[in-house]
Amino acid sequence: MKKRIVVLASGRGSNFQAVVNALKSGKISGSCVSLITDNPNAYAIERAREAKIPVIVIDYTSFSTREDYEQALLSAMHRVNADLFILAGYMRILGNSVVSAFPGRIVNIHPALLPSFTGLHAQRQAVQNGVKISGCTVHFVDDSLDGGPIILQHCVVVKENDDEDSLAERILKYEHKCLPEAIRLFCEDRLEIIGKRVRIH
């Protein structure tokens, strides 16, 4: 039985596209049943339409409180009935009410080697701190900020003349490989969470 996948994205959706491509090529045994976005102007919406994937827009700015927004998001997530939710450039921190509703079923891609440089502007943090190696991490989402169990990581060398943008661009290429690979492993039931660790079978 193919796993039902839903992607949450806020912007251009290049990681979403990488997932769509991997599904299309048969690399992942699953189907993307919806894109959920908090931004009615996200380019990811165009990508979804092109791939004939239904879009749910829950415009963050139309809610008076974060709680109201999360309630609407939670309701939409229950409705789509997905096996796996993927945060692919989704720019909101999920509240505990959402995370606790789908334990072990939400994954995120982050442009740093966690646990270093959590939160926003991870690439800028890497450059400012003078690290020699950065990269990307795919992890399960729990109630901590970018602190859930790590599934996959890929290293990227930080060059002397790198700035935030040049480093981000090189890391992104590996995000497009790591995220589909982590989803493939999930869809093949090969991931097991043991405490803070993920065992790949």
pLDDT, one tens digit per residue, over 171-184 is 999 999 999 999 99
What does pTM read for this prediction?
Answer: 0.96
Residue 48 is predicted with a pLDDT of 98
pLDDT above 90 (res 94): yes
DSSP bridge pairs for 36: 8, 56
User: Domain limits at 69?
Assistant: 3-200
Q: How far apart are CA 167 and CA 24, in angstroms?
A: 29
Mean pLDDT of the chain: 97
Q: Please report the DSSP string for the chain in residue order.
A: -PEEEEEEESSS-HHHHHHHHHHHTTSSSEEEEEEEES-TT-THHHHHHHTT--EEE--GGG-SSHHHHHHHHHHHHHHHT-SEEEESS--SPPPHHHHTTSTT-EEEEESS-TTSS-SS-HHHHHHHTT-SEEEEEEEE--SSTT-SPEEEEEEEEPPTT--HHHHHHHHHHHHHHHHHHHHHHHHTT-EEEETTEEEE-
Side chain identity at 30, as an amino acid letter?
A: G
CATH of the domain at 72: 3.40.50.170
Q: How confident is the model at residue 158 (pLDDT cuts 50, 70, 90)?
A: very high
Residue 121 is predicted with a pLDDT of 96
DSSP bridge pairs for 6: 34, 85
Q: How far apart are CA 95 and CA 62, in angstroms?
A: 18
| Domains: count for the chain | 1
pLDDT above 90 (res 122): yes
Residue 16 is predicted with a pLDDT of 98
Residue 1 is predicted with a pLDDT of 85
Other beta carbons less than 10 A from residue 198's beta carbon = 21
Which residues are catalytic, by number? 110
